[in-house]
Structure 1
Amino acid sequence: MKPSVLICSNDAEFYLVYSHVLEVGGFTSQLVDGVEAAVRQASEREPHAVILDCQPASEIGAAICARLKGELQNGALPVVALIAPGANYQHLDLLKAGIDESFLGPFAPAKLLSYLRARLAMERPDSEDGRSVIWGDLEMLLPSHRVRGCNGRQIHLSQLEFNLLRHLMENRGNVCSRDELIGAAWPDNIHIDIRTVDVHISRLRKSLKEILPHNVIRTIRPIGHAVEEQGI
């Protein structure tokens, strides 16, 4: 059975977006609006986690959190606040109410999924042992050698492309030289010209365009290639 998440919001579009994100991540979700309704549904349905939609026009997130922490599961139910731009002033009240985690928008949905999976000790879907590497909206499923975006769309890379992307993501924030990438992606007994690395990086970029709207890999001339430390 998939873990369930209660989404507290009065914004139907917000629910549609995050219910899809959660579904792709292996969760089910239910929409609820208001303090009393949130407490009642959390008590009756016993969700695995609660997500609060903290918009500037609505300041009931802290009140919902305080009630959930005070009345249910001895305060053990994970409560996560998604704070919209312009509502960051709510952060202090949420902390006082006992919030478990907060994400200030804009943020990569993969970060929310990563937190929920870690908190609930979940394995990632489509992976036999749950091992993966996450960078922003991009997730690498290591055992199955697949890559997907936060919208769930997947691509299959060649072994060389997968090795290159994995090394770049595991060393994000650092510039990886071409010699370093050759050592990470190719067998030791094969001689590779450094220009061959650029060719495969170019192919990798084209493959990633299928699942991401932005360019992930930067070329740092004349040193090598890199991805930023923080996902976009």
Structure 2
Amino acid sequence: MKPMIMVVEDEAALVTVLHYNLEKEGYRVCEASDGEEALTVAAENAPDLVILDWMLPMMSGIEVCRQLRRKPRHREVPIIMLTARGEEGDKVRGLNTGADDYMTKPFSMPELLARVRALLRRSAAVPSKGVLEFDDIQMDLNAHRVTRGGRYIHLGPTEFRLLQFLMQNPGSVFSREELLNAVWGPDIYVEPRTVDVHIRRLRKALNEDDGTDVIRTVRAAGYALDHKFPAEPADGTLSATL
């Protein structure tokens, strides 16, 4: 069955353009014009990807994203945030809420379609099976579950893939660009600083009840999964030194 794309946008003219171009690419399309309707439409249609406007009536796109990520059915669904807000802080906030990608209006339709294709390819990839272990962290790929010292760790889909890649390559240092290619895919157009946001989120989740860190920042090089050492501050990744 063709993938279902949910467009959540209150600008009628833009909805028409998106609907036309997505259907032309072979996708099925469902629509919502406000935040509350978006949650209802998502529950009824189980979209494979969501294109979500930031500024919506009834409920903001940020809150819609947050609520979708709380539902097991939608936890892994790729979300592209559309907004007129182009400041770096807004991008970070959108990514921190659980969005997979971010585009500032006005945007290129061919670029948006390329990002849709890349995210759908990534989400459709057959996951690896088995269990990965590093120190006291255990990742069950079959159950899509991470624990540390027996404590369940809640991770978003991007943080899960990021940790999986690092656990499959312990001790190796990877630059932002290498992590983008490995975790997001070579066809995704994401700023390298996006990696810092997700590293910070991953660190916060892993270190919530522990005073040690397993993600090492290597000055001017990148990040590595390494044996325990004192945790860095929860609000930073020392990204300025990379």
TM-score range, shorter chain: 0.3 to 0.5
TM-score by length of 2: 0.45
TM-score by length of 1: 0.46
Q: Which has the higher contact order (CA 8 A, sep 6+)?
A: 1
